[in-house]
Structure formats: structure tokens, C-alpha cells
Amino acid sequence: MPPHQKHSLPKAFWIAGLAVVFLLLYAPIVSAVLFSFSADRFPSLEISGFSTQWYAQVLTDRAILEALWNSLTVAGLTALIASALGFAAAYADYRFRFFGQKAVLALALLPPTVPLVILGLAMLAFFSRIGIAGTLMAVVAAHVVIAAPFAMAVCRLRLAQLDTELEIAAQNLGAEPHSALIRIVLPHTLPAILAAVLITFAVSFDEYVIAWFTGGLNQTIPVAVLTTLQGQVDPTIHVIGTLSFSMTLTLVLIALAVVLNQSGGRMSKEET
């Protein structure tokens, strides 16, 4: 045993602690998954039988399907725009040295730290002034603001592994700036951009507060769920929760796999 572990608590203690953390994190989710397959109207621990009736009900509910479509549209557009902006910002920070660079970087990464209620309210006020409040485009615009910093962070990590000399070396061999960007920087950053698309999609797909403030009558899935819950306890909620969770988890896992696989792989910065 290494000396620094000599006086620490037994390993079992840490494992138990970790188990508690995971239990608290995942028990509610597991319960939602369980109850989504329950035949009972109300959730209780004596589950009387297995049923997929609530799934059938959700998949035929026009309001839910419309909300799902809204969510997919908003998340899809948000993912594309936020990833493009995030890459551009990360590239500017990587490639150029300019006055106030640190300040610009801090400002660009700031939005996720602003409380959502404040952001949502401010967005609503601003969007009403320019006349787009209550449209899906308003939700997209607002979601881009909170999702782009995540895209930028992912792209920055990847760019940091690329020797800045490579792009200049390409230019030195006759590549015009745009060719050097497309042939050298983009291929290297592509995995991060893909990861950014998946993560920003997940961020937008899950987001409730801003979507509720700015979306008006155009409900996204989280808004529809909470609206439903306000009136009644409906077992279809478990179904929506389970589906949303699986989808988000899948996206994030794929993103993680892409990023982890690449950063340890052969495309990492040349060893010298």
C-alpha cells in the first residue's frame, strides 16, 4: 500500500459512500423507468403488473407528439448553430492573440452561470421588444446562448492539442488560409465538433425554464411535461421521463466516447 494511504479509512467506506451517491442520483430515475411499465394508475411500490399501455398512450397523444417535434426542431437547430459559433469562438481564441482576449473568453463562457430565471425573463423582455417572443425561433436563439459555451469548451480542449505551427506550416507550403483551416484544423477538431453537436442538442432538449419563458404556446417536451403535472398525476409522465432520459444519456455517452477515444488516440498532438 502506498504510504499516503496508510492512515486513510478502509476502502469499504469509500465504496459505500460512492454507492450512496449513485443511489441518490439514480433512484428517482430508476423509479420513473419502473413505474413507466407499471399497469397501475398511481405509482405505488406494489406493482400489480407489467404494461406498455402508457407508452401507447404517449405515442398517440397529439399534444405530446407536437411538443416532441418542437423539441427536436429546437434542439437540432440549437445544436448546429451553437456548435458552429462555439468552434468559431474556440478557434479565434486558439489562433489569435488580441487585446482583451481573457475578458472575451470569460464573457463567452459566462451564460451558463447566469440563473436561468433571470436569463429567461431578460430574454422574454428582449424578444417581445423585437417581436419574436413566443416563437420557436425565440427558443432557439435563447438556447444557442446557453449551449454555445459548452460547444466552445469542448472545441478548445481539442484545439489545445494541435500545434499552432501546423496551420502556418500548411500556409508555408502554399495553402491559402481557408485551405489550411479546412485541411489541417478542421480534420483535427472534427471529433470535438461532433461531440459539441451532441452535447448542445442534449442541453437544449432538456432545458425547461427558458423554453417556458420564451416559447409561449409552443411547448417543448419539458414544458409539456410540467404543464401536465400541474393538473394531475399522470403515469405518462414516467414514460416521457424515461424516453427523454434515455435519449439525453445516449447523446452524452456518444459524445464522451468520441472525445475520449480521440484524445487518447493517434490524432493527438505529435509526440516529440
Give the residues lining the site for other proteins (CB under 8 A): 163, 165-166, 168-177, 179-180, 183-184, 187-188, 266-272
Best CA proximity match to 243, nearest among 219, 221, 266, 215: 221
Specify the residue, 130 or 173, whose C-beta has the smaller distance to other proteins.
Answer: 173
Residue 100 — φ and ψ, nearest 5°? 80, 20
Please report how close the Cβ of residue 176 comes to other proteins at its closest, in angstroms: 5
Please report how close the Cβ of residue 163 comes to other proteins at its closest, in angstroms: 7
Q: How far apart are alpha carbons 259 and 11 in whole angstroms?
A: 31
Q: Give how far Cα 148 sits from Cα of 155, 168, 253, 267, Å.
A: 11, 27, 19, 25
Please report how close the Cβ of residue 173 comes to other proteins at its closest, in angstroms: 4
Contact 19, 27 (CB under 8 A): no
DSSP H or E stretch at residue 248: helix 236-263
Specify the residue, 184 or 209, whose C-beta has the smaller distance to other proteins.
Answer: 184
Specify the residue, 78 or 189, whose C-beta has the smaller distance to other proteins.
Answer: 189
Please report how close the Cβ of residue 270 comes to other proteins at its closest, in angstroms: 5
Please report how close the Cβ of residue 29 comes to other proteins at its closest, in angstroms: 39
Q: How far apart are alpha carbons 21 and 39 in whole angstroms?
A: 30
Specify the residue, 29 or 169, whose C-beta has the smaller distance to other proteins.
Answer: 169
Specify the residue, 42 or 99, whose C-beta has the smaller distance to other proteins.
Answer: 99
